[in-house]
Structure formats: C-alpha cells, structure tokens
C-alpha cells in the first residue's frame, strides 16, 4: 500500500525566499510521485512528476523536486518565492505496477508568501 506524509500543514516564507515543502512517501513498489497545486476555488493543477527517469524533476513556475530513495522523500523547492505562489500544495503517490492510475494524496501544505 502507498501513503504520503507532508510535513507541515502550513508554511510561511517571505517574498524572494527559498520555498521548501516536504513530502515523504511509503510504497512497497517503486513509486511514481507527483506535486499538485490548488489555488483558491480551483481544481488541482499538476506541477511536476517523477516517473523513474531523472531524480531531479523540473516543473512549471520554477518549481523542482528531487526523488531520494534512501530518504523516501520527494521535497518540493523553489529558489525564490513569489506572491503568486501562495496556494495549497499536494504531494501524491501512485503504484505503476498496479492496474490502476489512482493517486494517494497527502494532507496538503498551505504556502503563505509574505511581502
């Protein structure tokens, strides 16, 4: 079975500061991992995904994440926060060996960006 833990339900950074959102996963098989972003009153939008190719994955809006198998982590980073980055971020895991594309999501981390 797969599961995802996002450390910190709320993260606050200043504009221009480093953004680090933490995600740890549990999976009995090599996982696929995803980060989604949800802006207020909208659906979730795919930021980036890891599908067993390069361990450093670049996504949209300047975000990137690194898959670390030894640490079972997939943390999301952005060098310099922008006000428009304020949103809720979800990490998700799927099992590519299963016969389903269902994703298991973490509880989400709300990112606040202060001017």
Partner 1 sequence: DSGVTQTPKHLITATGQRVTLRCSPRSGDLSVYWYQQSLDQGLQFLIQYYNGEERAKGNILERFSAQQFPDLHSELNLSSLELGDSALYFCASSPRGADNYGYTFGSGTRLTVV
CB of 115 to partner 1, least distance (A): 27
Strand partners, 7: 22
Contact residue for partner 1 among 63, 78, 87, 94 (CB under 8 A): 94
- Of 20-28, 45-53, 64-72, 74-82, the segment contacting partner 1 by CB under 8 A is 45-53
- Of 10-18, 21-29, 66-74, 91-99, the segment contacting partner 1 by CB under 8 A is 91-99
For 12, the token pair is: 């606050």
On whether the CB atoms of residues 90 and 105 are closer than 8 A, the answer is yes
Would you count residue 91 as binding partner 1 (CB under 8 A)? no
Would you count residue 42 as binding partner 1 (CB under 8 A)? yes
Contact residue for partner 1 among 62, 64, 108, 110 (CB under 8 A): 108
Q: What are the φ/ψ torsions at residue 44 (nearest 5 degrees)?
A: -85, 140
Would you count residue 40 as binding partner 1 (CB under 8 A)? no
Q: What are the φ/ψ torsions at residue 69 (nearest 5 degrees)?
A: -65, -40
- Kindly list the residues in this chain that would bind partner 1 in the complex (CB under 8 A): 32, 34, 36, 41-46, 49, 51, 90, 94, 96, 98-108
């Amino acid at each position: 079975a797969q599961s995802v833990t996002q450390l910190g339900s709320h993260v606050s950074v200043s504009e221009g500061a480093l953004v680090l959102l933490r995600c740890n996963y549990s999976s009995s098989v090599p996982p696929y991992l995803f980060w989604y972003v949800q802006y207020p009153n909208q659906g979730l939008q795919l930021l980036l995904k890891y599908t067993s190719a390069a361990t450093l994955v670049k996504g949209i809006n300047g975000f990137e994440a690194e898959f670390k198998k030894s640490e079972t982590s997939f943390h999301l980073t952005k060098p310099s926060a922008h006000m428009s980055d304020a949103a809720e971020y979800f990490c998700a895991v799927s099992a590519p060996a299963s016969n389903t594309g269902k994703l298991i999501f973490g509880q989400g981390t709300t990112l606040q960006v202060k001017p």
